[in-house]
Every structure is written in C-alpha cells, then in structure tokens.
Amino acid sequence: MNVVQYPLRAEWAALQQRAAQQQGADVAQRVQQIFEDVRQRGDAALLDYAQQFDGADLAAAGGLRVSVQELAAAEAQVPAALQAAIRQAYANILRFHEAQVPTEERVETMPGVLCWRRAVPVQRVGLYIPGGTAPLFSTLLMLGVPAKLAGCPNIVLCTPPQKDGAVNPIILFTAQLLGIDTIVKAGGAQAVAALSGGTESVPAVDKIFGPGNRYVTAAKQLATRYGVAIDMPAGPSEVLVMADATANPAFVAADLLSQAEHGPDSQVILLSDSLSILEQTKAEVERQLRELPRAEVAAQALTESRAILLRDAQEMLDFSNEYAPEHLILAVENPEPLAAGVSNAGSVFLGHLTPEAVGDYASGTNHTLPTNGYARNYSGVSLDSFFKKITFQRLTPEGLRNVGPVVETMAEAEGLRAHARAVTLRLEALAGSEE
C-alpha cells in the first residue's frame, strides 16, 4: 500500500477513482449476444453455456432445474456447526427486516378526501447468487429473507452449477431454509437473460436482485431495457476505513483484507490522521496477506488500494462523503459524532469492535449495497426493495365539493379542459340530485 500524505483537495478526485468504473464495449457486446441467444434458443442456450463456462453437462445431470431430491439431500452435506450459524444469521436478518414492515395509513387531506398508500409485493422476483470460487450463500439469506417477508409469490433462484452438474449444497440448504424451491442451474449473463425474458425452464421475472462480475452487472443493466427492474447498479466490493490514533492496526488490516479477498477488482481505502497508524497498518496488511488462502486475489486488489494521511477527522469525513463507499468503518475512539456526519455510504460500522464482516453475514443488516459511488443516490437492499407502493383515493360528496373547485381552477389554467370537465360533470350531478 502506497501512503499519500496530505493531498490537496484538488487531488482527491484522482485518489477516489475506482479501477473498474467503465464497462468495456466488448463486455456490453458479448452480453447483448448472450441475451439474443437465450431469447432465441431458450433452455438449449443455457445448457450450452453451462458446458462452456461451468464445464457442466446439465443434460446428463438431469436438466436445468434443481430436483426435489437434490434439495432434500443437501442438508446432510452441510456440517452441523455451519447449519447452526446459518440459522442464527437467518434469525438476525429476519428480525432486522421485520422492523421495516410498512403500515397502511389513511389520510384525510380535506374533509371527505381520503388518500392512502399500500405496499404490494413484487409478484415475480429473480435472485442471482454467484457460485464460482466463493458460493455466496450469505447473499441468498440477504435477498431471500426480505423477499419471503414481503410476500413475493414467485421467487426464482439462479446460481451456477459445479462441474458435476450439482449446485453447492450450502446454497441448497439455505434455499430450503428460506422456502425457495424454484432453483435454476444457470450463472453469469445467461442467467440474467433467462430471468428477463423466460425460457422453457426459467420463469420470467419483474425484478432481478443479486451481485456478480462485470458480465452480470452489464446484463442487469441490459435487462432494464426489456422492462425488468433491478436492485441497483453494482460493481466490485469496496471498503473505506477511517482510523485515528486509537485504532488497532491488526484490526484495520484485517478489515481491509476482508474486502480485498472478494476479488481482484475490489478496492480498499484507508484514511488516517496518524502516520504511525498508516505505517503499522501497512506492515500488518503485508503480514496477514501471507496467511490468506486467497492471498493472490487480495494482492491484486491491493494494487489499487490507497492509504491517505489527512489532517483531522473532518477532512477524513469530507473525503469519505465524496467517495461514497459501499462499506464505511469508523475505527475511531468516538465514532458517534462522525457517524452523524455521514451523508454518503452503503453501510456504516462504528468503533473498534465492529468489523465489516459482521454486516456481511449475521448482524442483521443487509449486505447488498451500492458500489462505485452509487451510495450518493441509492440505498442498499431492504424490505422496501421487494414492494411496490400503490396510492389510493376516495371522495365522498363532501370531498368532491371541497376539492373539485381546486381541480377545476388548476386544470383550466393548464388548458386541460377535459380534466376540468371530469370534475364539473360530477359536481353538477351532485347538485341535481339535491334539488
């Protein structure tokens, strides 16, 4: 990690650049080809891509859908300790999201004018869960819990197969815990393409959730052109740590590496007003890196990492709000005042004993968060993400008499005579019925 000392504010923008902000034209073109192929050939295309990208012969393994037998057999393949951990994480995530259940309130804006808003679940939801080198069963919890809690009636899970044509048993165990049984062995852009238009084995959905590589990210963005919503724009994982002189360098280094090991295009940034903390943390990163099974992946990510010395906590806060990190760790003695000043971040972790990893797995908050600076204008996934809000209104005769003249006056001023007439005719009918 290279240490940058007291950069001028004019230099901050360059230090805040993400390495993978631009999707290459070749990625977009390839994803477009995959979409067209899946739309034309359906299941046949998905089977070919499973062979090509995953090395799996799904035709020989029973097809694209996970069978009832495969789902039932998964539990026996998951160690008891891991099952218990997943169940506890499930309980914590459920408890946090249950507190977000919306209430329906009727508001009388004028006498006789009743308005209300109802939360209606998205009817068809697609969850994409990466497999690859790190099958993200934790993400399935983060998406499946609110989807079920919202009452989404149709939930489709897509996840890549292993070379033997099976799905990772931990993902299947988690799906069974959640009550999700429509599971498709498909990964990458082809899974998103299938969810956006449907195939013989994959039901089309209204909204797609879940992380992925740059091809999946490009595919989700392309899906919006076919009338399918997505959770948010997303890219490689990232963390920004603000550390003062009281920070523990070993803790901070572990936090940085916990993001770096996600993938080679992940990004970590360390801010401090203590040069000693920066230098000690840098040494700890190098020491701990050697002990990681995914050291090579983390080392690649660290090539884009930055350790920046700033003058004080306010400068660190200003830098962070401009960067808008996915994860923000406040490794400082008194984090609450700093937290109050956070305006742009996906999720915030306060104090020396709150590692970002707890949010990734089991504190209860959702780990599906905006990256690439989208925390400036997007929230992370929540229960709300699985609802649509529909407004309703109803007028009594008194209500029509009260609000009608207001509408007539405004509609005439905009030159929309039919709008005004829709009210006038009703007012005249009311007057006639009272004679």
List, by residue number, the catalytic residues: 326-327
The sign of the dihedral angle between the CA atoms of 210, 213, 215, 218 is positive
Please calculate the CA angle 3-8-11 and round it to the nearest 5 degrees.
80
Alpha helices in 324-416 (DSSP H): 335-340, 356-361, 397-413
- What is the DSSP pairing of strand 154-159 with strand 124-128? parallel
CB 131 within 8 A of CB 187: yes
R_g of the chain computed on alpha carbons = 26
Q: Which regions of 94-138 does DSSP assign to beta strands (E)?
A: 106-110, 113-121, 124-128
Sheet hosting strand 347-350, strand order edge to edge = 3-5, 306-309, 267-272, 238-243, 327-331, 347-350
Query: CA dist 70 to 63, 67, 90, 270, 412, Å?
Result: 12, 5, 22, 44, 65
How far apart are alpha carbons 319 and 240 in whole angstroms?
A: 10
How far apart are alpha carbons 40 and 50 in whole angstroms?
A: 17
How far apart are alpha carbons 36 and 215 in whole angstroms?
A: 15
- What is the DSSP pairing of strand 387-395 with strand 113-121? antiparallel
Instruction: Point out the annotated binding site for NAD(+).
Output: 128, 190, 213
**Residues forming a β-bridge with 141:** none
Instruction: Point out the annotated binding site for substrate.
Output: 237, 259, 262, 327, 360, 414, 419
Instruction: Point out the annotated binding site.
Output: 128, 190, 213, 237, 259, 262, 327, 360, 414, 419
Q: What's the token pair of residue 378? A: 């997007």
DSSP string across 2-17: -EEES--GGGHHHHT-
- Sequence-distant (6+) residues with CB within 8 A of 143 are 127, 129, 209, 210, 368, 381
- How far from chain centre, in Å, is Cα 300? 24
Query: CA dist 77 to 15, 58, 63, 132, Å?
Result: 46, 21, 21, 19
- What is the DSSP pairing of strand 183-185 with strand 106-110? unpaired
Q: What's the token pair of residue 387? A: 């609802």
How far apart are alpha carbons 425 and 16 in whole angstroms?
A: 60
